Amino acid sequence: MEPKVFKSGVVNVEFGSNVKYVDPVNLYGCIIGNDVFIGPFVEIQKNVSIGDRSKIQSHSFICELVTIGNDTFIGHGVMFINDVFTMGGPAQGDQSLWKKTKIGNNVSIGSNATILPVDICDNVVIGAGSVVTKDISESGVYVGNPAKKLK
């Protein structure tokens, strides 16, 4: 029996002006603002909004229910999570268990960071490899696992 093959691609995306992306990407049902750059091997799922002049580097995954502000940088390999295993395991398609993430304006997220469902205010830097488990409501630099304010 032959396996079912899904191909990456761009489907039902609302693009702003002057957007650039590097194939291959998997973008579907999302909104991409003006002057955005998206590197290769990025997946941006439906119900995601990316603000103007933001940059998404290669190998990053932005799951459903994420909103990213303007002038934001997402480093290589950044992972966003919307399922926190509320019932002790994966939601298994029960999207009512998924949670939202909101990233403010002028935020930089370093490579290989993991962002759980949180709100991050404007003017924040998240260090490479950090794991953000709680809301960030004060501008500054945050690092570690779990991410804590450095300065």
Q: Which of 59, 79, 119, 141 is catalytic?
A: 59
Q: What is the rounded distance in angstroms from the CA atom of residue 90 to the CA atom of residue 117?
A: 15
Residue 11: C-alpha distances to residues 8, 14, 28, 101, 122 (Å): 9, 9, 5, 22, 30
Q: What is the rounded distance in angstroms from the CA atom of residue 11 to the CA atom of residue 149?
A: 38
Q: Give catalytic status of residue 76 as yes or no.
A: no
Q: What is the rounded distance in angstroms from the CA atom of residue 63 to the CA atom of residue 4?
A: 23
CB atoms within 10 A of CB 131: 16
Say if strands 37-38 and 20-21 run parallel, antiparallel, or are unpaired: parallel
Catalytic residue ranges: 59
